[in-house]
Amino acid sequence: MSSQIFELARRDFVQRAKSKAFLMSMALTVGIVLIIGPLISLADRDPGPTQVGLLGELPAGAVGSIQGQADLLDMDIELQTYYELESAEQAVIDGDLDALVNGSDELVFREEVQLRLATVLTGGIANAERKAIAEEMGLSLQEVDTLLYPVVFDQRTLEPSETDEDQAKEFAAIIGLMLLYISILMFGQFVMMGVMEEKQTRVVEVVLSRVKPTQVLIGKVVGIGLLGLIQIVALGGAVLFTLSVVDLMDIDLTGIGLKVFGLLILWYLLGYTFYSFMYGALGATISRQEDMQGVAMLPVLLILPGFFLGQMALINPEGWLPRVASFIPIWSPMVMAVRSIASDVPIWEVTLAIALVGVTTYGLVRFGGRIYRGAILHTGSKTKLRAAWRSATSE
């Protein structure tokens, strides 16, 4: 990078980085991500075992039978014995007990009947009573177990089910897709706004007296792109911190996050570079704020199908349409990114997609630089692309 491009990049970086709107949005976004993890951890804190009180005369073996039923339904129950109805009911009211078994015919809850817990308790008491009756009839323990407990079948599936890790990858892919889409559009439009503002205020005329037009455009793309990279790194770091705090699934979320982080940086750099030169060239064709919205729609219309194709890739990463779209440069930054996060894409496919984006970006740099050179000094009404191209040719 030449010293002129470096200075131009530094100027644009500092100018945008000092913007109060950018700093506030950056601080707010990162702050929200940072506090999500601790909040989820607090909300997901293990409440401990379910507390159940036992009162009155219960059938022999009731405690073991209730625990057995709880184990079948994967419930952690702690049983406590009470001797007075008043103190037991007060414990329910105070929240010290989740339920009270009052003899063999009554369950007591605080406000609403907890059906799952009620099933465990009634099933445990009923099994204990049946076992006592069966033993009185002279049945052996094996016969009692056959009578009381259901047959246990071996279970298997014909197709693999989605694991927690697969779900985590899908979640990371959709978040990454949204972040890529927003970042490429936002910082690409920053490039357009910067080009248009310099043209409107005639600052670019002073700058062009010392450096070439293409160098001005490259410097702006590099400076604003570095700002976007810092934002993604900050957000990625905040997300990794949140994942390290949250423990929702029995998998290494942080390990997945590092892979996603690396892929986001790679595809942001490729996607931003591709679209930013397009935005810069289009920004050179306008001089008024009211013209910007209409001109900015062209990159949006190009990138929007990639967002939806990325969602399709999330559902079926190896489907023919997402797979083909991941090699089309205008959509590769999002579709290939999603495929790489959500599944194991062969390295040759990723390499080919990167190469195609790189070659197309080089062509767009040449094309965008020429449009910029031919339109940047034309003031007044919007300059047509064909006119800008011809103007650059005649220079």
Pairing relationship of beta strands 106-108 and 99-102 according to DSSP bridges:
antiparallel
By CB atoms closer than 10 A (0-12, 13-18, 19+), residue 174 is: middle
* Exposure string over 109-123, b if 16+ CB within 10 A, otherwise e: ebeeebeebeebbeb
The answer to whether the predicted template modeling score (pTM) of the entire model surpasses 0.75 is: no
**CA-closest candidate to residue 85, choices 101, 62, 105:** 101
**CA-closest candidate to residue 279, choices 252, 311, 302, 313:** 302
142 and 251 assigned to the same domain: no
219 and 188 assigned to the same domain: yes
Using alpha carbons, list the distances in angstroms from residue 286 to 47, 193, 380: 61, 10, 8
**Residue at 225 is within a domain:** yes
**In terms of residue numbers, what domain contains 26?**
3-41+164-394
Q: Which residues pair with 236 in a beta bridge?
A: none
pLDDT at residue number 319? 86
Measured CA to CA, the distance from residue 34 to residue 28 in angstroms comes to 10
**Residue at 15 is within a domain:** yes
**Residue at 333 is within a domain:** yes
Q: Give me the number of domains the chain comprises.
A: 2
12 and 110 assigned to the same domain: no
Predicted confidence pLDDT, tens digits, the chain (395 residues): 577 788 888 888 888 888 777 788 788 877 877 777 666 656 555 567 888 888 888 877 778 888 888 887 778 888 888 888 888 888 888 888 888 888 777 888 887 888 888 888 887 787 777 777 767 776 665 666 666 555 556 666 665 655 556 666 777 788 888 888 888 888 888 888 888 888 888 777 777 778 888 888 888 898 999 988 888 888 877 777 776 666 544 445 555 667 777 888 899 999 999 999 899 888 888 877 777 878 888 888 999 999 999 989 888 888 889 999 999 999 999 999 999 888 888 999 999 999 999 999 999 888 888 888 887 777 767 778 787 777 766 55
The torsion defined by the Cα of 310, 312, 313 and 316, in degrees rounded to 10, comes to: 170
Helical H runs in 18-61? 20-43
CB 374 within 8 A of CB 390: yes
226 and 112 assigned to the same domain: no
Its sign, for the CA torsion 190, 196, 199, 201, is: negative
Q: Which residues pair with 52 in a beta bridge?
A: 79, 99
**Residue at 340 is within a domain:** yes
CB 138 within 8 A of CB 70: no
Picking from 92, 113, 148, the residue at the C-terminal end of a domain is: 148
37 and 55 assigned to the same domain: no
9 and 73 assigned to the same domain: no
**Residue at 157 is within a domain:** no
pLDDT at residue number 354? 94
Around Cβ 66, how many Cβ atoms within 10 Å? 25
15 and 99 assigned to the same domain: no
pLDDT at residue number 166? 67
242 and 344 assigned to the same domain: yes
**Residue at 156 is within a domain:** no
**Residue at 275 is within a domain:** yes
290 and 262 assigned to the same domain: yes
96 and 174 assigned to the same domain: no
**Residue at 159 is within a domain:** no
Tell me the pLDDT tens digit for each residue of 121-171. Answer: 887 787 777 777 767 776 665 666 666 555 556 666 665 655 556 666 777
Q: H or E element: which one contains 80?
A: strand 77-82
Picking from 148, 176, 192, the residue at the C-terminal end of a domain is: 148
pLDDT at residue number 327? 94
343 and 271 assigned to the same domain: yes
- Token output for 139: 């049945």
Q: What is the CATH number of the domain that holds 110?
A: 3.40.190
211 and 92 assigned to the same domain: no
Picking from 148, 182, 211, the residue at the C-terminal end of a domain is: 148
Instruction: Label residue 138 left, alpha or beta by phi (over 0 means left) and psi (-120 to 50 means alpha).
Output: left
